[in-house]
């Protein structure tokens, strides 16, 4: 059910209708099949979507801004009836973009055919279904009252991962540590302050992987993170690149990490140590300063807390800073879309390093792999330009040639005081959510 890939000059004309439905409860359970399953869920809110009304595939350095221009054209011609009027109702696209300008997987935007959304409001939980119909296609039944009826879709049984085996990615763990040691030397020599180095690992199941199973496990075990599934990229990220909601922007910077032990008392002591660790605080400061600098041209004012807090996740704890700002309108009173802001912020120091350009070129020189969409922006945007983009972390990308295989990624910020062995352990801690989702 693939729609033709279009360019900014050939935007499709879409008919969109959103109406309220009874609360479907678990959103991910509403996904009828694994093919083309899309998800964006946090604390049980968000949406799942399927089918394809339109698609934009990006290329090169302009991949996000080109997508933004295409989206403007799509939204300008769409006919939208939205009886709900909440963030995420009405016309929407989900997207994931490649980390680097030269990747073979530059990504883009997908406009689904059906979206089921759910959001907690002061008036209680509200839920909706949106149908998006490209030029001339038939509408789903108008009397449908729940998510499944809306599509006439039968929910196919889930396929669980089975007999999962693991194999090395682009580099062995030993070679990766050697490269980290080389990066530390170059940082000490003054080439950069911080470089984020990642590694990949493959997992293979006996059955084709079903993103619904992985997403459900993420949403259950990591409910405070953003569970996402976009074109076979599936994960649970704790890092918000940018949210735009009614003229306000927010971003969560993470940098500085420690593994959880499972012993609450010990973890609290570790959290306190993390908040005092000069290595982690320095790494964190680089990340906050560079985010604030990239955000500056878009905001009339910004609030950048001086001291980070500690974010507790089941597998790790991070130093975290929530930056907020009031967007600056252009001469015609328009705000930049969330995608435009995301394009300017990416890649942050959390996934590239500092200074940005030097760090990103060191990443591609040292890492020896194509990150694809790992560490790139992943999220959604609505017709009004509001939306959320996170950084695609704690995730894996299902192999397009063989759906039994998935490539997992994890990385960490390397600074002068880093130790290669400790960084390898940190990548293992960051791979845990994916490993758990595969093992069940
Ligand atoms: C690069 C990753 O994580 C990033 C690096 C961190 C660090 O170095 O401390 C912390 C959170 C993320 O910003 C990853 O999870 O793959």
Ligand 1 atom at minimum distance from 237 CA: 15
- Domain chopping of the chain, boundaries: 8-151, 165-439
The Å distance, Cα 172 to ligand 1 centre, comes to: 20
Distance CA 344, CA 348 (A): 9
- Whether residue 220 is preceded by a cis peptide bond, meaning omega within 30 degrees of 0, is no
Global confidence as pTM: 0.95
For residue 217, pLDDT over 80 is answered with yes
Characterize 131-159 residue by residue with b for buried, 16 or more Cβ atoms within 10 angstroms of its Cβ, and e for exposed.
Answer: bbbbeeeeebeeebeebbebbebeeeeee
Distance CA 145, CA 152 (A): 11
Ligand 1 in reach of 284 Cβ (< 6 A): no
Tell me which of 187, 197, 200, 255 to substitute to probe ligand 1's pocket, judged by most ligand atoms within 8 Å of the beta carbon.
255
Q: Name the closest-CA residue to atom 1, ligand 1.
A: 411
Q: Name the closest-CA residue to atom 6, ligand 1.
A: 255
Which residues lie closer than 8 Å to 123 by C-beta, 6 or more apart?
Answer: none
Ligand 1 in reach of 196 Cβ (< 6 A): yes
Ligand 1 in reach of 317 Cβ (< 6 A): no
Distance CA 379, CA 294 (A): 19
Return mean pLDDT, the chain: 94
| pLDDT tens, position by position, 278-318 | 989 988 998 999 999 999 999 999 999 999 999 999 999 99
Tell me which of 193, 233, 239 to substitute to probe ligand 1's pocket, judged by most ligand atoms within 8 Å of the beta carbon.
239
Say how many residues make up the chain.
440
The Å distance, Cα 351 to ligand 1 centre, comes to: 7
CA 196 to chain CA mean position, Å = 17
Ligand 1 in reach of 308 Cβ (< 6 A): no
Ligand 1 in reach of 350 Cβ (< 6 A): yes
pLDDT band, residue 142 (cuts 50/70/90)? very low
Ligand 1 in reach of 430 Cβ (< 6 A): yes
* Residue 5 confidence (pLDDT): 57
Ligand 1 atom at minimum distance from 351 CA: 1
Class of domain 165-439: alpha beta
| pLDDT tens, position by position, 8-63 | 457 899 999 999 999 999 999 999 999 999 999 999 999 999 999 999 999 999 99
For residue 152, pLDDT over 60 is answered with no
State yes or no: is 239 an active-site residue. yes
Per 3-state DSSP, what percentage of the chain is helix, strand, and coil (rounded to 5)? Answer: 30, 35, 40
| pLDDT tens, position by position, 14-25 | 999 999 999 999
Ligand 1 in reach of 256 Cβ (< 6 A): yes
For residue 73, pLDDT over 90 is answered with yes
């Amino acid at each position: 059910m693939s729609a033709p890939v279009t360019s900014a000059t050939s935007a499709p004309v879409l008919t969109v209708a959103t109406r309220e439905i009874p609360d479907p409860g678990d959103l991910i359970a509403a996904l009828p099949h694994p093919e083309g399953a899309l998800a964006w869920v946090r604390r049980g809110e968000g949406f799942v979507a399927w089918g394809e009304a339109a698609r934009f595939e990006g290329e090169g350095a302009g991949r996000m801004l080109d997508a933004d221009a295409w989206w403007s054209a799509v939204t300008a011609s769409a006919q939208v009836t939205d009886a709900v009027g909440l963030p995420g109702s009405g016309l929407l696209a989900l997207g994931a973009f490649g980390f680097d300008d030269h990747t073979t997987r530059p990504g883009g935007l997908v406009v689904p055919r059906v979206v089921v959304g759910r959001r907690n409001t002061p008036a209680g939980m509200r839920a909706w279904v949106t149908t998006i119909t490209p030029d001339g296609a038939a509408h789903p039944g108008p009397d449908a009252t729940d998510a499944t009826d809306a599509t006439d879709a039968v929910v196919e049984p889930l396929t669980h991962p089975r007999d999962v085996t693991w194999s090395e990615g682009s580099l062995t763990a030993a070679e990766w540590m050697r490269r980290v040691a080389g990066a530390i030397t170059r940082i000490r020599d003054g080439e950069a302050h911080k470089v984020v180095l990642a590694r990949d690992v493959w997992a293979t199941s006996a059955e084709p992987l079903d993103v619904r199973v992985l997403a459900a496990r993420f949403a259950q075990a990591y409910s405070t993170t953003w569970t996402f599934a976009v074109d076979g990229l599936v994960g649970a990220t704790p890092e918000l690149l940018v949210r735009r909601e009614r003229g306000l922007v927010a971003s969560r910077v993470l940098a500085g990490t420690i593994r959880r032990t499972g012993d609450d008392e010990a973890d609290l002591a570790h959290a306190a140590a993390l908040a005092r660790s000069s290595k982690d605080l320095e790494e964190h400061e680089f990340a906050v300063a560079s985010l604030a600098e990239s955000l500056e041209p878009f905001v009339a004012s910004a609030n950048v807390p001086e001291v980070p807090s500690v974010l507790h996740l089941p597998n790790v704890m991070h130093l975290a800073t929530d930056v907020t700002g009031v967007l600056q309108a252009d001469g015609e009173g328009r705000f930049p879309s969330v995608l435009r802001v995301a394009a300017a912020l990416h890649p942050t120091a959390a996934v590239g390093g500092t200074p940005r350009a030097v760090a990103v070129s060191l990443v591609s020189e040292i890492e020896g792999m194509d990150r694809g969409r790992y560490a790139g922006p992943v999220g959604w945007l609505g017709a009004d330009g509001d939306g959320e983009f996170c950084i695609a972390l704690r995730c894996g990308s299902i192999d397009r040639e063989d759906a039994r295989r998935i490539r997992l990624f994890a990385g960490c910020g390397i600074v002068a005081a880093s130790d290669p062995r400790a960084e390898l352990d940190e990548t293992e801690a960051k791979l845990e959510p994916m490993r758990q989702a595969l093992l069940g």
